[in-house]
Amino acid sequence: MKREYDFSKGKRGALLPAKGKTRITIFIDDAVLSLFRARAEKAGTGYQTMMNEALRAFLSSRAEEPLTESVLRQVIREEVPKLSRPATRSGGRGKQRRAA
Convert the pLDDT of each residue in 80-94 to its tens digit: 765 545 555 555 555
> How many angstroms separate the CA atoms of 75 and 55, rounded?
7
**Interval 6-37: pLDDT, tens:** 888 888 876 776 678 888 899 999 999 999 99
C-beta separation of 50 from 32 below 8 A: no
* pTM of the complete model: 0.49
In our burial notation (b when 16+ CB lie closer than 10 A, e otherwise), range 67-76 reads: eeeeeeeebb
Helices (H), the chain: 30-43, 47-61, 69-79
